[in-house]
């Protein structure tokens, strides 16, 4: 069982009311916090209890039999995941209340020790392979913008590192794009972040400033990861070896739980930021890997499906060697990895071409193809190539029909709701990821990958609808989507299948549980415009006041 050590604790402090509520949820919920996330709309509750937090390090390849030190666990949102990945986890948490709650949360872990107090007071004799600091580095200097206290602390940590040890630091970027859009500073609460320098009880730094601090502290080697939208609820991970392409608006969901000061949408600005090579300097957050030797994670990019049902909480990791590895982010997702392997094997047995793949070390490994996806290919086509596009779509339709044995018409899962519809061929097992973003194209060849989701007794037309629906914008620039739908017999079924897909996605992405997150992601453009107008008025008043002196 997890153990709590209190010999080095300081004086007890008053416990905030929201902390008491979080402790109650953890004590009463036995590891399932869905009800709390549905009924409690406070950001602090979501931040401490949501599984979406685990995406920050769930993809990271910790050393085998790693000894991990977590500095500042709060309520243990990442602690359980670290226990799953390491031989042993040692936590140092300054709050007695939070440390006690963390032990309750992960009481069944026999590789966890939680110490209450400060690193300066605890005489650890062991060395650690990885030291983790999530949202705690900024507070080391009590708001000071001087580098000295941060450099001193990083030097201090070297005494606890194994020879090939690393420090992982997650921190907001002082020059992050969200702050230029009006986001509040996490320490002072003031809009536009720390663009004017340090404020309040913590201090943020730019990439260049962090480089200087870590270099001065003696960490010769550093690797920067760029989590989007930030390190708190990461959905994408980029690095300098794997930077985002121009349009990333469909790949992640920006959010702000305090949007009242927002004046611009990040999504509208990213294309220009990326085109001008500014993304590394203006990423909202950093995850920095600091080491004394050049021995970094082999992951150069990742997509994190942390908003899915537990069986599909999977990280898709782009590796330095050119492979793509899918890794489970939860214990339940191990079954999802096995199902993906089974699906890909069954497709291959049915004569469908797939990327080379294998199961290895608990992950699903695929070869990264230097080919465009069908989705990318479609965006490059012109109206003059309409016939070619239809030929490719017909090949996709043929692959869908070939992918599974047929089922009886009466087994169609949609038949009870819509008995009069013309459903066509029903497939025993429909691979609903047979859509353009999961297909490479090489001349006349369609090469499939990432086929993890299936539906039983499903119309083949439903699969074709998904393929057309996903690429509707690109296809509409080539020819009317209505004509394409008609050619595959899905025009009359379009609205029915759109509603079904919306319902299925809502269930798969757990909209019911994470509805507050999606509310925070739905920032009103009208409100942002009003805020811009308010700034304009305030700026004008300021200039008039200046002219009157």
pLDDT (tens digit per residue) in 54-106: 999 999 999 999 999 999 999 999 999 999 999 999 999 999 999 999 999 99
pLDDT (tens digit per residue) in 315-327: 999 999 999 999 9
CB 428 within 8 A of CB 401: no
**C-alpha to C-alpha distance for 440 and 124, rounded to whole angstroms:** 52
Q: pLDDT value at position 115?
A: 98
Q: pLDDT value at position 188?
A: 82
Give the H or E element holding residue 398: helix 386-402
Span 505-514, mean pLDDT? 86
What's the pLDDT band for 200 if we cut at 50, 70, 90?
low
Nearest to 94 by CA among 200, 172, 22, 13: 13
Q: How far apart are the first and last CA of the chain?
A: 70
Nearest to 58 by CA among 325, 358, 295: 325
CB 214 within 8 A of CB 288: yes
Nearest to 382 by CA among 469, 444, 475: 475
pLDDT (tens digit per residue) in 367-423: 989 999 999 999 999 999 999 999 999 999 999 999 999 999 999 999 999 999 999
Q: pLDDT value at position 191?
A: 87
**C-alpha to C-alpha distance for 187 and 203, rounded to whole angstroms:** 8
Nearest to 60 by CA among 79, 85, 77: 85
Three-state SS at 371: coil
């Amino acid at each position: 069982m997890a153990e709590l050590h209190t010999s080095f604790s300081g004086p007890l402090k008053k416990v905030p009311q929201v902390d008491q509520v979080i402790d109650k949820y953890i004590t009463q919920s036995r590891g399932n916090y869905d009800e709390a996330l549905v009924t409690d709309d406070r950001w602090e509750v979501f931040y401490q209890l949501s599984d979406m937090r685990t995406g920050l390090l769930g993809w990271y390849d910790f050393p085998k039999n790693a000894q991990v030190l977590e500095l500042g666990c709060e309520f243990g949102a990442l602690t359980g995941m670290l226990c799953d990945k390491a031989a042993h986890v040692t936590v140092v948490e300054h709050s007695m209340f939070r440390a006690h709650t963390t032990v309750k949360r992960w009481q069944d872990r026999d590789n966890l020790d939680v110490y209450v107090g400060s690193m300066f007071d605890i005489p650890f004799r062991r060395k650690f392979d990885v030291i983790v600091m999530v949202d705690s580095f900024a507070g080391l200097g009590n708001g000071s913008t001087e580098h000295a206290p941060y450099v001193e602390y990083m030097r201090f940590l070297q005494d606890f590192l194994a020879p090939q040890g690393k420090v992982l630091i997650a921190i907001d970027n002082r020059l992050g794009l969200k702050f230029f859009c009006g986001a509040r500073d996490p320490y002072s609460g003031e809009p536009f972040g720390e663009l004017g320098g340090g404020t309040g009880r913590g201090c943020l730094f730019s990439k260049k400033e962090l480089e200087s601090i870590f270099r001065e502290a003696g960490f010769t080697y550093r690797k920067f990861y760029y989590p989007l939208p930030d390190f708190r609820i990461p959905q994408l991970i980029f690095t300098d070896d794997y930077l985002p392409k121009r349009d990333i608006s469909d790949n992640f969901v920006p959010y702000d739980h305090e949007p009242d000061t927002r004046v611009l949408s990040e999504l509208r600005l990213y294309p220009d930021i990326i085109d001008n090579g500014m993304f590394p300097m203006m990423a909202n957050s950093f995850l920095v890997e600091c080491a004394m030797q050049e021995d970094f994670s082999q992951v150069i990019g990742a997509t994190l499906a942390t908003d899915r049902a537990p069986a599909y909480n999977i990280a898709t990791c782009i590796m330095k060697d050119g492979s793509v590895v899918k890794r489970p982010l939860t214990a339940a997702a191990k079954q999802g990895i096995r199902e993906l392997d089974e699906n890909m094997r069954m497709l291959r047995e049915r004569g469908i071409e797939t990327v080379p793949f294998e199961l290895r070390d608990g992950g699903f490994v695929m070869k990264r193809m230097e080919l465009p996806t069908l989705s990318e290919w479609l965006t490059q086509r012109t109206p003059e190539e309409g016939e070619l596009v239809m030929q490719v779509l017909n090949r996709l339709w043929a692959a869908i029909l070939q992918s599974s044995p047929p089922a009886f018409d009466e087994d169609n899962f949609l038949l009870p709701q819509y008995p009069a519809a013309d459903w066509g061929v029903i497939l025993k097992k429909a691979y609903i990821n047979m859509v353009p973003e999961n297909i490479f194209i090489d001349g006349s060849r369609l090469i499939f990958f990432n086929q993890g989701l299936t539906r039983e007794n499903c119309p083949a037309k439903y699969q074709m609808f998904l393929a057309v629906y996903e690429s509707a914008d690109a296809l509409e620039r080539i020819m009317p989507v209505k004509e394409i739908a008609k050619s595959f017999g899905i025009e009359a079924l379009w609205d029915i299948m759109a509603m079904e897909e919306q319902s299925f996605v809502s269930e798969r992405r757990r909209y019911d549980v994470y509805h507050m997150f999606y509310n925070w992601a739905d920032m009103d453009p009208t409100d942002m415009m009003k805020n811009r107008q308010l700034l304009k008025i305030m700026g004008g008043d300021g200039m008039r006041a200046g002219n009157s002196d």
